[in-house]
A and B are shown apart, each in its own frame.
Chain A
């Protein structure tokens, strides 16, 4: 069984540009989560999808971040325009249902110059 897959593994962009991160969850997992780790701090929750619906987006930092999960399969996280403080590692996780463990991808390391 393939794990959670994230693209790209690393992205370097300039401040003000736009970047889109993609996450493919484990097949059959309805729950998809985005997290990020900034500057070696703790991993922080961004949002949670159940199928194509946003269940909880309380962790989204501001309206420069837009997450979508059209069709309830893969998800994208767009940052527009990117700011310096957006640098960090963005992780995606998925679970079969709310009671099951969350399995993480290897993350996208985002560097804003």
Chain B
């Protein structure tokens, strides 16, 4: 089955600087890669996603890049703000019909230092 590795497990960044979180996946049949942000006491909230026919996607201060050959994808947050502090999860989903489950990474706790 699919396996997703996520690094780093914790990340502290000065406010205003950029943060990068990286994930690798094992199954080349995966074609959908969402990123979720989880704040304390809340469920994972989708912040951005990318499909395998696209190499990069941006949404304001957030961007995701995908390298299908190397089987890795990354989340980039620019101009970080205190409200960006949270746990971030990457995930991958296979393209097979009937197998729509998400396989998650272990999460990255991002702390923005004011």
Q: B36 at interface (Cβ–Cβ under 8 A)?
A: yes
Q: Collect the chain A residues with CB atoms within 8 Å of residue B91's CB.
A: 43
| In contact, A105 and B104 (Cβ under 8 angstroms) | no
| In contact, B34 and A91 (Cβ under 8 angstroms) | no
Bound Cα distance A45, B89 (Å): 14
Q: B86 at interface (Cβ–Cβ under 8 A)?
A: no
How many interface residues does B have (CB within 8 Å)?
A: 23
Query: B107 is contacted by which of A42, A58, A107 (Cβ under 8 Å)?
Result: A42
Within 8 A of B (CB), among A50-78: 55-56, 58-59
| In contact, A104 and B45 (Cβ under 8 angstroms) | yes
Q: A15 at interface (Cβ–Cβ under 8 A)?
A: no
| In contact, A44 and B104 (Cβ under 8 angstroms) | yes
Q: Collect the chain A residues with CB atoms within 8 Å of residue B42's CB.
A: 106
**In the complex, which of the residues A41, A98, A104 has the most CB atoms of chain B within 10 Å of its own CB atom?**
A104
Q: What 0/1 pattern do residues 42 to 62 of B give for CB contact below 8 A with A?
A: 111110010000000000000
Q: Collect the chain B residues with CB atoms within 8 Å of residue A58's CB.
A: 101
CB distance from B106 to the nearest CB of A (A): 5
Chain A interface size, as a band, is: 20 to 34
Q: Collect the chain B residues with CB atoms within 8 Å of residue A105's CB.
A: 43
**In the complex, which of the residues A42, A44, A56, A106 has the most CB atoms of chain B within 10 Å of its own CB atom?**
A42
Bound Cα distance A112, B49 (Å): 35
Query: B43 is contacted by which of A41, A56, A106 (Cβ under 8 Å)?
Result: A106
Bound Cα distance A4, B43 (Å): 10
Query: A107 is contacted by which of B43, B100, B105 (Cβ under 8 Å)?
Result: B43
Bound Cα distance A23, B104 (Å): 21
The 9 A-B residue pairs with the shortest CB-CB distance in the complex, in nearest-first order: A45-B101, A104-B43, A43-B104, A106-B43, A42-B106, A104-B44, A42-B104, A98-B100, A105-B43
6 A-B interface contacts by CB (under 8 A): A33-B102, A45-B103, A101-B46, A104-B44, A104-B45, A107-B43
B residues apposed to A, CB below 8 Å: 4, 34, 36, 41-46, 49, 89, 91, 97-107
